């Protein structure tokens, strides 16, 4: 429930989100901060943050964007905007702040105001979203290190561009690249993946990510920035980062639960046992005996 005993005076308040649309764009251009949507009928609210408020509000004011989102995610605020309309919402700017402070300040307001429309209770977390089965499969495959084959990648490209896909462009330089031992080691290390855990300066847990890339996107920084923190252990902001190498090995047991093999990853296991990667993942997830011969497990 919304904490009715706590009163927060917004820095800026727009009483009618529909009528004030133009001024909302104008006054929040090139600004980062914390915002709150208020349903004038139900009294419920939603709190969010963005390093580019005007761009974020552009999404909110796009019905096509909202409709696409509600098809794949369980978003109460988007559904409510569609149901009640912009004229039944007010919009508050709770505060403007630097982008590196957004999550910390958003979490502050989430904790004290407890807005009803926020499915996520941790600022920036994905916990609580309901995804389609197709989206879940894509995320699962990416987490376990599988790669799409070329035809599937081309199909995705077609769908995105809406045009016929030509053959991949081949450069004039046909000389094969020779990879150094050092480069191979780096690629091997990256292939295993690094789990990133983010804490505030008081060591309170904020969020966790499956790799450096997703953590960097969450923070709005370049992956190389987190890579430097990973290498040096020196943080550039008010967060504490903990990195853990993911174990992508696959343990193979026979029908009597006797360990018979340990493979480096699912891709190698799939090739070795001649099982399609998607089938492999399904049996790992279910824990069922494959073909009356093997059990596959990952940590």
The 3-state secondary structure of 43-56 reads CCEEEEEECCHHHH
- Mean pLDDT along residues 200-226: 77
Residues 6+ apart with CB under 8 A from 257: 295
Answer yes or no: do 237 and 266 share one domain. no
Q: Is the pLDDT of residue 85 over 90?
A: yes
99 and 38 in a common domain = yes
Residues 290 and 213 in one domain: no
The enclosing domain of 145 has a CATH number of 1.10.10.10
Q: For the chain, what is the domain count?
A: 3
Q: What is the pLDDT of residue 251?
A: 86
Query: Cβ(140)–Cβ(281) under 8 Å?
Result: yes
Residue 20: what pLDDT?
Answer: 94
Q: According to the model, what pLDDT value does residue 157 have?
A: 41
**What pLDDT score was predicted for residue 268?**
86
Q: Are residues 254 and 216 in the same domain?
A: no
Of 94-108, 134-148, 168-182, where does the model show the most confidence? 94-108
Whether residues 94 and 144 fall in one domain: no
> Among 14-18, 140-144, 185-189, which stretch is predicted with the lowest mean pLDDT?
185-189
- Enclosing domain of residue 55: 12-113
Q: In what order do the strands lie in the sheet with 294-297?
A: 259-263, 250-254, 294-297
**Whole-angstrom distance, CA of residue 71 vs CA of residue 129:** 12
- Tell me the three-class secondary structure of 185-244, residue by residue: HHHHHHHHCEEEEEECCCCCEEEEECCHHHHHHHHCCCHHHHHHHHHHCCCCCCCEEEEE
Query: pLDDT class for 179, splitting at 50, 70, 90?
Result: very low
Is there a contact between 67 and 9 (Cβ–Cβ < 8 Å)?
A: no
CATH number of the domain bearing residue 16: 3.40.1440.10
User: Are 291 and 216 contained in the same domain?
Assistant: no
Q: What's the rounded mean pLDDT across residues 52-67?
A: 92
Using the predicted structure, report yes or no on whether residue 192 has a pLDDT greater than 90. Answer: no
What is the mean predicted confidence (pLDDT) over 90-95?
96
Percent of the chain with pLDDT strictly greater than 70: 73
pLDDT-derived band of residue 193, with 50, 70 and 90 as boundaries? Answer: low
At CA 133, angle to CA 130 and CA 134, rounded to 5? Answer: 120
Listed residue (284, 270, 212) closest to 241, CA to CA: 212
């Amino acid at each position: 429930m919304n904490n009715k005993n706590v009163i927060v005076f917004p820095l800026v308040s727009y009483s009618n989100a529909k009528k004030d649309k133009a001024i909302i764009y104008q006054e929040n251009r090139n600004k980062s901060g914390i915002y709150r949507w208020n349903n004038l009928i139900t009294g419920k609210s939603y709190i969010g943050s963005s390093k580019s408020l005007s761009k974020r509000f552009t999404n909110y004011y796009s019905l096509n964007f909202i409709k696409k989102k509600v098809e794949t995610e369980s978003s109460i605020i988007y559904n409510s905007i569609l149901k009640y309309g912009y004229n039944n919402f007010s919009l508050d700017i709770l505060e403007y702040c630097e982008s590196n402070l957004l999550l910390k300040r958003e979490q502050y307001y989430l904790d004290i105001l407890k807005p009803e429309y926020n499915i996520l209770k941790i600022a920036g977390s994905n916990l609580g979203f309901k995804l389609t089965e197709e989206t879940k499969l894509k995320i699962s495959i990416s987490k376990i290190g599988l790669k799409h084959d070329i035809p599937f990648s081309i199909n995705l490209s077609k769908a995105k561009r809406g045009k016929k896909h030509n053959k991949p462009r081949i450069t004039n330089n046909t000389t094969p690249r020779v990879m150094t031992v050092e480069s191979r080691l780096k690629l091997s290390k990256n292939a295993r993946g690094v789990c990133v855990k983010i804490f505030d300066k008081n060591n309170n847990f904020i969020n966790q990510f499956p790799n450096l890339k997703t953590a960097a996107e969450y923070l709005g920084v370049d992956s190389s920035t987190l890579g430097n923190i990973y290498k040096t252990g020196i943080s550039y902001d008010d967060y504490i980062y903990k990195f853990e190498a993911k174990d992508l090995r696959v343990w193979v047991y026979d029908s009597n639960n006797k360990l018979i093999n340990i493979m480096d990853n699912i891709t190698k296991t799939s090739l070795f046992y001649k099982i399609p990667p998607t089938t492999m993942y399904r049996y790992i997830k279910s824990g069922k005996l494959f073909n009356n011969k093997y059990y596959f497990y990952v940590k």
